[in-house]
Structures are given as C-alpha cells and as structure tokens.
Amino acid sequence: MNSWFPSGNIYLLLLSGGTGSRMRSDIPKQFLELNGKSILLHSLEIFLDWGKTKSIVLVSHKDYILNSETLCSPLLRERDRIVEGGDTRHGSTLAGIHSIQFSANDIILIHDAARPFVSPDDLDRLSSATEKFGVATLASRNHETVLEEENNSLKFLNREKIWFMKTPQGIRGDILKKILEKQSTTEPTDLCTWAQGEGIVSRLVESNPYNLKITEKSDLALAEAILPLFQNWKNEII
C-alpha cells in the first residue's frame, strides 16, 4: 500500500454543488450526516488522509459556500480552497479547473462529494492509470443480466462488457489542456464523456465494491449499513 507516487502534482476537484432536490431534503445531501459526520467531511477526509494531493478545490453551490467554509475550513490546508460552482456539473468542473495552475504531467482528479467510500488503493490505481494513459475512471463490473427495452422489444446485452461509471475520474494535465482548447458542441455529463467527445478513450479502473453514490433517501440508510463494512475492508487491505 501507498507504494505509488506521481511524477507530477495531484489536484482534486471535489464537486459539492447539489441542492437536495432528488434527496427531497431541506439541505443538500452532502451536508446530511452519516454516522454523526457530514457526507462532505467523509469525502474530504478520504483525500486528506491519502496525503498525495497538492491542492484540494471544493467546488460549492453559490448558496452554500458559507456552509462549506464553516464545515470544512478547519481541515483545509493553506493551498486548498473553496470556489463557486456553475449551473451544471460541467460548469462546476470548469470552475474548479480554472482555479488551479497545472502542468502537463500533473494529474487532476474529479470526485463527487456524495461518494464517501473510496479507498487509498482506489486512488493509487486510478492515479497511476491516469498518469500512464491520460484519462481514467473508477468503474464497477456488472454481475446482473442486462436488458435494453425499445418499442416493446427486449435486447439482451453482454453483461461481461457492461461497466458502471464511478468517481473519482482523472485526467493528465497535457490532455486537459488539449481538450480545453476545443469548444464542445454538447454539454458533457462527466470528464470521461468530455474526453470521449474529443476522441480520447478512458481507461477503466475497477473500483472497490462499496463505492456508493448517495442520491436518494434510501441511499443514506444503505450508506449507514455500508460504512462499518467499508471501514473493516479498508483496514484489511492496508
């Protein structure tokens, strides 16, 4: 463990721009508590404990910047910062990118604050793949039968070829500079679709099995059950 180190710097964009609409909550999901601590702090501490980032940029919804500062400032280092996000995920990603000065061999990781179950091993393997191949993402394999429905017809898909996208996703600085120079004709949904639109294929890195995104109320209850399992699993692989 912790045997891999990058040749350049690692920057993290921690996207925390949700407003709680799908959670049907009065406060955004990242501020809800998981075992007595906010989801946002769980996610932030993952990267602080990993210890390999030069800078962490917390990208916040404009209405919740003060909340983020109150909650996270005691943990943030001098080179970390909180910036205002955009109206979309991609807009928030760009806001985070424009707040840092990165070089060609640096690694930029983008992570959803609503995913508090990422391990140091995940981050090492993802960052190594990003450094080597240019763009990479955590993803999980599918073990279910997959059907595609269209016009009352069912098509069975090859489940061995189906993956579920996760975060973090990573991009090397030279590749990021290249795609920033081009104007996208459509709004990318994430980093990998952005790169794909420029003809750059992402490398898939298998995620740990607990990498849940907390989106709805039922996910929060599931996360409470997963947390001790994840902590025990993480301790076993260290």
Q: What are phi and psi of 125, to 5 degrees?
A: -70, -40
**61, 133, 238 from 121: Cα distances, Å:** 30, 18, 8
Q: Read off the pTM.
A: 0.94
Position 21 scores a pLDDT of: 66
Position 37 scores a pLDDT of: 96
Q: Which domain holds residue 185?
A: 10-237
CATH classification at residue 119: 3.90.550.10
> Is residue 65, in this structure, part of any structural domain at all?
yes
Confidence of residue 238 (pLDDT cuts 50, 70, 90): low
Summarised one tens digit per residue, pLDDT across range 82-112 is: 999 999 999 999 999 999 999 999 999 999 9
- Total domains, the chain: 1
> Is residue 4, in this structure, part of any structural domain at all?
no
Q: What are phi and psi of 72, to 5 degrees?
A: -100, -25
> Is residue 1, in this structure, part of any structural domain at all?
no
Summarised one tens digit per residue, pLDDT across range 190-217 is: 999 999 999 999 999 999 999 999 999 8
